[in-house]
Structure 1
Amino acid sequence: MEQPDWIPEGVDLDTPSAARCYDFYLGGAHNFAVDRELGRKVLEVVPNVREIALHNRAFLRRAVRYCLERGIRQFLDIGSGIPTAGNVHEIVHAVDPRARVVYVDNEPVAVAHSRTILEGQDNAAIVQADLRDVDAVLEAPETRRLLDFSQPVAVMMVALVHFVPPADKPGELIRRYHDRLPSGSYLGFSHVTGDDYPEGTEGLVKLYENSTNPVTLRTRDEVAELVSDFELVEPGVVYVPEWRPDDPEDVTDNPEESIVYGLVGRKR
C-alpha cells in the first residue's frame, strides 16, 4: 500500500506514538493504524479521553492568552505535537502579528506537518529536538533567530513531562530551562495524574508501556515539586478545567475526571 506523501522517510509505522494518538483523540488525520489501535484501547479504560484532550488544549489556549495579557510576545512551545486548530501561533498572532513563536517536537510526523503549516511564516518556526536536550532546543538556529532571551519568554510544556521517566530527572530538566530564562518569563505546564481516578489511569499507563512514549503518573505534590523554581500564578496546581476558565460554567461537575493538572508559573 502506497504511503501518503506527508509521512516523513524513516517513520516507525509499527510503534504507536503519543503525539499521533493525541491527534487521533482530537479527531485529526495525521495518525496511523497502530496509533488508532492504541487509541481505541485507551478509550476502553478512559472513555472520556477525547474530552480530556480537548480540556488540555483549552488550558493551553488560556495559558497563552494569560501570558499575552501580561505583555509576553515570545513563546517556546516544547512538545507541541501535531498541529490542530487553535495553535499557539494562531492565538498569539491574532493579538500581535509581530510576536514570535518557536515550536519544538521530536516526533517526525509532528515536525513535518508543522513545517507545512508554518511555510511562509516569518515569526513562527519548528525545531526537531527532544525536551531532554536543552541545548538542542535553546541553541537551535530557529530558536536563536526568533527568540531574544534577554526579554521574557513564555515556555509551554503541555501534556509533555508525564512522558519523562524519573530516571531522566524531569525536575532538573525544568530547572535548566528556568535558569536560562530571564526574570518575568512564564511556564505553562500540564501533567497527567492518577490522584482521583486511579483505575483508568493505571490502565492508561499499562497501554502506553509499549509505545514510543511510556507514561509516568505524578501526584499533585510531585507536579508542584517539578515546577518549584517558579512562582505559581493563582489558582496554583488545579485540574485543567479549573485553571482560570473563560466562564465558570465551563468547569465540569467532576473536574478530576480530566486527569490532568494544569498551572502557570512565573520566574521571579
Structure 2
Amino acid sequence: MTDNLDGVATFVQVVEAGSFALAAERMNLTRSAVGKAISRLEARLGVRLLHRSTRSQTLTAEGQAYYEGCVRALAELDVAEAALDHGRAEPAGRLRVSVPEAFGHFCVAPILLDLVRQYPKLQIDLSFTDRFTDLIEEGFDLAVRIGELRDSSTLAARRLGTQHVVIGASPAYLERYGTPTCIEQLENHVGIALSRAGAVAPWNAKDADGSAQPVRIRSRISMDDIQAIAAAAIDGYGLAWLPCWLLTRYAKSGALVPVLDNYRVRSQEVYAIWPKARHLRAKTRVAIDALKEKVPGMIGE
C-alpha cells in the first residue's frame, strides 16, 4: 500500500526553506536524504515539482499546486494531532525554542531543562541568539523575546514579566573613582556601553517616579554582548547598564555593586511567543506555564 504522505513534509520544508541544505538542517537530516525524499516523491507522482540548479530552486506549475494542497493537508493533520495531544497527560515530542543569548543561558535554560526531568518523552532543542528569528519560517515552536513585539497577526504571546536595566560597578572601580550619589555625578565616570550594529544605546535613565533623566558619561568601550559588558565591569573598566537579573547574580558574589538604586535605565517587557494555532500542543503549553511561573522571580518581580 502506498503511503501518500511519504516525502510530503520534506517537500514542504524544502519549499519554505528555499534550499535543500537549509531544509536538511531544520529537519536534522543530511542534504542527500532530503534530495532522495524529493526524488522518490516526484517519481511516485510522475511529475517534476521543482526546477533545480546549483544555485537556486523554483517550483514548477504542478509543484506550486501540489505545495498548496500539501500545506492544507498538513495543517489539518496538525489540528488532529494537537487534539489528540491535548487529551494526553504527558507532554511528548521535540520542542524547538529560540531564546536571547544571556537571558536564555541564565533564566530560560534552567527552567526548560527541569521539564526534561519531569517529562521523559519531552525533547528540548534550544537555540541561543540575539537576532530576530522568524518562528514560522525557521520552524520554532516557542520563543522568548525582550522588548517590543512584532508579528502580532501570526503569533500569540504571554507576558512573563518586566526586565529592568540598572547600573552596576566593581568594588575596585568605586574605591578608585568614588560612588556616584546622583545622575549628575555620572559625568565624572566612565561607562561601558551597549551597541547594536555599531550604534551605541543612549544612556538615559528614569528615576523612581518614572521621570526621564539625561545622562552625561564618557564611554570608551561599547559591546553588543551583555555578558561581555558585565565581565568588563567586573574587571573595573567602568560603570555598566545591566539587566537586573544579571546584576543581582554578580552582586550576590560581591563581584559587582548596584549604583544609584533608585534609577533605571530602561524597562522592557519579557514575553513567550508562539505561532497561533487552534490547539496548543501539550509540550508548548507546559513550557509556557513553567516560564510564567518562574521567570518573574528570576528577574526580581
On whether the aligned pair clears a TM of 0.5, the verdict is: no
Which structure would you say has the larger Rg?
A: 2
TM-score, structure 2 as length reference = 0.27
Query: Which of the pair is proportionally richer in strand?
Result: 2
Structure number with greater CO (CA < 8 Å, separation at least 6) is 2
